[in-house]
């Protein structure tokens, strides 16, 4: 079996669902269920004996140690993280506690478990840490995409906390020999994405007749990766990755934010036209940019393709169509995640910005 942390969040839940479609191997899923962790993401597994959910914190070393000893996993895949730049600007402490302190306690528990394994099991064990391209900082126009040897230059409390967690994982490999793997991915999108991030926020607001907020001039560039492609990359790295190595995972889809918004509007105009016959583009509103907003990210994903044979299946055009259709087909899920706390967050982050 494997232990997955943060498996009720966006990427983690997609990984768990995809894993159990392809494997009979059991998953124990540890998630703290903060604002973005949602058991509804895993509703289809309610009666599946291969999936055991445990609510808890990766920083709880006693709980993690107990789960490891009782379930005897061959691998731990760590998705657990606070992961939103805007939230890290408003409240950085949660990011420090989960992404740095929590990762430290998780590593300590895993090291103790791994050290006690018989030699054969110890050799086969893996700790896979899921991270982000934001640790590399910001790229200038025309600058080569991020490779695995790029210097870390994090520019937000979120990316700084993830950079620290990456360094801890590396240190535990080089100091203690812990068999680790690290992946640094570009911006994910797809089903079950919490609607505070750009793509789900634009879809949800458009359908509700609300403004579509775009930071600054909308020319911030990101590399977009369909979440199911990301999950297949993680499975590939877990199976074939070289110990201690870092693998960048990207979709080869550099797009400006405003172009993303235009693409979503065009798809909604086609799939769910406004009753007044106008385009959803009329709802676009430019708002004050966030502090320290990185201008461009881009992933060079040649290493994972060259060494492990992985590359994404979805283009942006196929992936965004699937994503928009999923949100149209799952309005109940959307309505259920839009709690009072979520609405208060949107008010705090967007309503106070000058338009």
pLDDT(283) > 70: yes
Token pair of 350 as six digits: 């967007």
Confidence at residue 351, expressed as pLDDT on a 0 to 100 scale: 54
From residue 99, alpha-carbon distances to 4, 160, 196 in Å are 15, 9, 20
Confidence at residue 348, expressed as pLDDT on a 0 to 100 scale: 54
Vertex 127: Cα angle to 13 and 130 (nearest 5): 45
What is the C-alpha separation between 5 and 129, in angstroms, rounded?
A: 10
Instruction: Taking residues 236-249, report their average pLDDT.
Output: 98
- Are the CB atoms for 199 and 207 separated by under 8 Å? no
Instruction: Taking residues 88-95, report their average pLDDT.
Output: 87
Catalytic residue among 31, 134, 229, 300: 134
Catalytic residue among 31, 57, 82, 133: 133
More confident residue, 194 or 325: 325
Place of tokens 């107990």: 66
Instruction: Taking residues 42-50, report their average pLDDT.
Output: 94
What is the C-alpha separation between 96 and 82, in angstroms, rounded?
A: 9
Q: Is 158 a catalytic residue?
A: yes
Confidence at residue 126, expressed as pLDDT on a 0 to 100 scale: 98
Confidence at residue 71, expressed as pLDDT on a 0 to 100 scale: 98
Confidence at residue 324, expressed as pLDDT on a 0 to 100 scale: 98
What is the C-alpha separation between 51 and 25, in angstroms, rounded?
A: 9
Vertex 263: Cα angle to 257 and 159 (nearest 5): 30
pLDDT, one tens digit per residue, over 149-174 is: 999 999 999 999 999 999 999 999 99
Domain 2-189+226-251+296-313 has CATH 3.40.50.720: yes
Residue of 187, 198, 212, 205 lying closest to 338 (CA atoms): 205
Confidence at residue 160, expressed as pLDDT on a 0 to 100 scale: 95
Confidence at residue 148, expressed as pLDDT on a 0 to 100 scale: 98
Q: Is 133 a catalytic residue?
A: yes
CA 159 to chain CA mean position, Å: 13
For 19, residues 6+ apart whose C-beta sits below 8 A from its C-beta are 2, 25, 27, 231, 235
More confident residue, 71 or 345: 71
Token pair of 214 as six digits: 């775009």
pLDDT band at 341 (very low <50, low <70, confident <90, very high): low
What is the C-alpha separation between 196 and 26, in angstroms, rounded?
A: 31
Confidence at residue 345, expressed as pLDDT on a 0 to 100 scale: 40
Mean pLDDT of all residues in the chain?
A: 93
Sketch the domain layout of the chain as residue ranges: 2-189+226-251+296-313
Angle formed by the axes of helices 198-207 and 257-271, to 10°? 40
Beta strands across the sheet bearing 126-132: 51-55, 27-31, 2-5, 75-78, 126-132, 180-185, 246-249
Q: Is 226 a catalytic residue?
A: no
Token pair of 125 as six digits: 């064990």
pLDDT(16) > 60: yes
- What does the chain come to in residues? 355
Token pair of 131 as six digits: 């991270």
DSSP string, 53-118: EEE--TT-HHHHHHHHHHH--SEEEE------HHHHHH-HHHHIIIIIIIHHHHHHHHHHHHHTS-
What is the C-alpha separation between 188 and 216, in angstroms, rounded?
A: 21
Confidence at residue 339, expressed as pLDDT on a 0 to 100 scale: 66
Catalytic residue among 136, 158, 247, 350: 158
């Amino acid at each position: 079996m494997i232990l997955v942390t943060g498996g009720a969040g966006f990427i983690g839940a997609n990984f768990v669902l995809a894993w159990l479609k392809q494997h009979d191997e059991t998953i124990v899923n540890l998630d703290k269920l903060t604002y973005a962790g949602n058991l509804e993401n895993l509703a289809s597994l309610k009666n599946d004996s291969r999936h055991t959910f445990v609510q808890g914190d990766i920083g709880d070393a006693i709980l993690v140690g107990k789960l490891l000893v009782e379930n005897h996993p061959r691998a731990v895949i760590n998705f657990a993280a606070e992961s939103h730049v805007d939230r890290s600007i408003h409240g950085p402490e949660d990011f420090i506690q989960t992404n740095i302190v929590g990762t430290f306690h998780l590593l300590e528990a895993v090291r103790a478990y791994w050290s006690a394994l018989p030699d054969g099991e110890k050799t086969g064990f893996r700790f896979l840490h899921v991270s982000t391209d934001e640790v590399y900082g910001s790229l200038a126009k025309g600058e080569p995409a991020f490779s695995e040897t790029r210097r870390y230059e994090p520019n937000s409390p979120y990316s700084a906390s993830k950079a620290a967690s990456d360094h801890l994982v590396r240190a535990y490999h080089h100091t203690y020999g812990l068999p680790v793997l690290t992946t640094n991915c570009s911006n994910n999108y797809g089903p079950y994405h919490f609607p505070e991030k750009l793509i789900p926020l634009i879809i949800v607001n458009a359908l509700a007749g609300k403004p579509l907020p775009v930071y600054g001039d909308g020319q911030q560039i990101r590399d977009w990766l369909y979440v199911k492609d990301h999950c297949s990359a993680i499975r590939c790295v877990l199976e074939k990755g070289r110990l201690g190595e870092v693998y960048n995972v990207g979709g080869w889809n550099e797009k400006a934010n405003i172009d993303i918004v235009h693409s979503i509007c065009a798809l909604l105009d086609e799939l769910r036209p406004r009753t007044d016959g106008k385009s959803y583009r009329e709802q676009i509103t430019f708002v004050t940019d966030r502090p320290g907003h990185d201008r461009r990210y881009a992933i060079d994903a040649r290493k994972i393709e060259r060494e492990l044979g992985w590359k994404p299946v979805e283009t942006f055009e196929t992936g965004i169509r699937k994503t928009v259709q999923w949100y149209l087909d799952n309005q109940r899920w959307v309505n259920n995640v839009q709690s009072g706390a979520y609405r208060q967050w949107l008010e705090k982050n967007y309503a106070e910005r000058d338009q």
